[in-house]
Amino acid sequence: MSRVEIFDSTLRDGAQAEGISFSVEDKLKIVKAMDELGVAYIEAGNPGSNPKDLEFFRRVKDIQLNNAKLTAFGSTRRRNINVSDDANVKSMLEANTEAVAIFGKSWDFHVTDIIQTTLEENLKMIEETMAFFKENGKEVFFDAEHFFDGYKANPEYALQALEAAVKGGADCLVLCDTNGGAMPLEVYEITKKVCETFSVRVGIHTHNDCGMAVANSMMAVEAGATHIQGTYIGFGERCGNANLSTIIGNLQLKKGYHCIPEENLETLTSTALFVAEIANIVLYDKEPYVGRSAFTHKGGMHIDGVNKASHSFEHINPELVGNTRRFLMSEVAGRSTILKKIAKIAPEITKDSEEAKQIIDRLKELEHEGYQFEGAESTFELIIRKHLGKYKSFFELENFKIIGEKPAKDSKFSAYAMVKVNVDGNEEFTAAEGDGPVHALDIALRKALEVFYPQLKEVHLTDYKVKVLDSKDATAGKVRVLLTSSDGKNVWSTVGVSSDIIKASLIALVDSIEVKLLRDLENKMRAYM
């Protein structure tokens, strides 16, 4: 099976998308996710450009990567200086990555009018920068910026730029459709010409300004390219980059190429959701392969067809990429999944029973209110248990009060919480201070309950996410809070929805504690069975 290298630039070109801003923590998480997925290269930033990227490159060294090589991005040296004197080049070395991607000009107009130097000097800038990084032991990609526009304007010069890179020792020539204006057939023909002319690897880097980013990447592979640059869920400057989650699906499932380990294909969807979550964007529903609607059927004839044979209206089986089939406006939506969950808790409940129907109705009602149980299965379990009466709360939150105040003009903002809990008739009242009222409430609640359940000391929150569901209602809009907790052995997530962020947080917090106590009880019981 031929291999096509996947080069993910979510953290570099993706960060140039409107609305995207990664913290160092965010970047580290995405590096891990991309490595686990199995991409070949992770372009993680432009170390010369800002302090955040430098801090990132220092910290990323602690992460053990199993599949991907880290790549730093930057430009060829500036005109009329020595490579080794170029500040950007120095920062790239400092980033200490295995590979570097160096972009340079291949469109004569850009050389003369934008960076304003001579055509000869630009060729030297390319060759010398390549040579410098090769001497420093790097794997070197030459990103030929605007290659297709350049080739159409002046094919000789565009090829000379590539030749300069090859002379300098570039390992791979990456043909960039920087402005996203190229059409598939021209990408095919021009890439073919480059593959015939040079013996080094050829790559493709496309943008989606004509809706062609994925198609142009595929056409380049047809023409001989073996390296694809893009961003995992397609975000990037303007209309975005080539969407790698689509390309991996197309290449590996349709064309028989090897891009990522076969067993990881079924994580395509969860990885897309994870990247979207970290980037704090909503994954586009219609995204091929990984979008929420990608295998959603609404037309009656389609639903009927899929029930007879799924390939009648699905190009692949959604399970192959970890996505799920959904039928809309139909009671069968998700039924079997829910029934499987119910069966775990109450095996006696049959699928056609009144109880099963009631639980499904209740879930639909909650989803309509803004709940989402994907990633919060613990809350889902508690709801089923409560509905079936298979539940007794471990505590009651009798009352609580939170206060946030800045008592005088020059004083600091302080937050406190007071709670009273009741466990089997025994009350405990306590208070705590925190970084804001949610934090104070979190501390106070645990403090009160630890008197009765010392094992709660093991629990800490590992994640806290807030999503404003209807941001148009502004501060009165509904919010969904997703909490992830851990006791060092297990990790679980709970969800709360309310128009008040404190209440939504509290719902998720109470459930998180209930789940811990329930799990401990189940473990104890097991010893007697």
Which residues 118-177 are close enough to bind a second copy by CB under 8 A? Answer: none
> CA–CA separation, 340 vs 344, rounded Å?
7
With CA atoms as reference, report the closest residue to 397 among 425, 426, 419, 430.
Answer: 419
Question: How far apart are the C-alpha atoms of 414 and 403, rounded to whole Å?
Answer: 8
- Asked if 275 touches a second copy (CB under 8 A), the answer is no
Tell whether residue 296 is a contact of a second copy (CB under 8 A).
yes
- Least separation, in Å, of the C-beta of 399 and a second copy? 5
Q: Is residue 239 within the footprint of a second copy (CB under 8 A)? A: yes
Which alpha helices (H) appear in 325-376, and where do they start and end? Answer: 335-345, 354-369
Closest approach of a second copy to the CB of residue 51, in Å? 6
**From CA 349, how far away is CA 345, in angstroms rounded?**
9
Query: Helices 377-388 and 501-526: crossing angle, nearest 10°?
Result: 70
Q: Does 267 bind a second copy (CB under 8 A)?
A: no
Rule CB under 8 A: say whether 408 interacts with a second copy: yes
CA dist 217 and 206 (Å) reads: 7
In one-letter notation, the amino acid at residue 460 is H
Residues numbered 326 to 345 that lie near a second copy (CB under 8 A) are 328, 330-332
Give the per-residue contact string, 181-220, with a second copy (x = CB under 8 A; - = no).
x-xxx----------------------xxxxxxxxx-xx-
**What is the total residue count of the chain?**
529
Please report whether residue 252 would count as binding a second copy according to CB under 8 A.
no
E strand map for 246-393: 296-297, 326-327
Beta-carbon contacts of 500 under 8 Å, excluding residues fewer than 6 positions away, are 479
Of the candidate residues 56, 147, 295, 394, the single one contacting a second copy (CB under 8 A): 295
Residue 224 interacts with a second copy (CB under 8 A): yes or no: no
What strand order describes the sheet that includes 460-468? 460-468, 479-486, 491-498
Q: Which of 270, 404, 453, 487 binds a second copy (CB under 8 A)?
A: 404
The phi, psi pair for 165, rounded to 5°, reads -65, -45
Closer by beta carbon to a second copy, 166 or else 512: 512
Binding residues for a second copy restricted to 431-450, rule: CB under 8 A: 434-439, 441-442
Determine the interface stretch with a second copy among 78-86, 90-98, 198-206, 306-314 (rule: CB under 8 A). 306-314
Token pair belonging to 485: 């907790």
Side-chain-side CA neighbours of residue 10 (13 Å): 29
User: Binding marks (x or -) toward a second copy, 24..63, rule CB under 8 A?
Assistant: -x--------------------x--xxxx-----------
Pick between residue 131 and residue 291 the one whose CB is nearest to a second copy: 291
Name which of residues 60 to 119 contact a second copy (CB under 8 A). 75, 109-110, 113-114
- What angle (nearest 5°) sits at the alpha carbon of residue 305, between those of residues 303 and 307? 70
464 binds a second copy (CB under 8 A): yes
| The token pair that represents 436 in the structure block | 């804001």
Please, what is the minimum distance in Å from the beta carbon of residue 464 to a second copy?
Answer: 4
Window contacting a second copy (CB under 8 A); options: 89-97, 120-128, 280-288, 344-352: 280-288
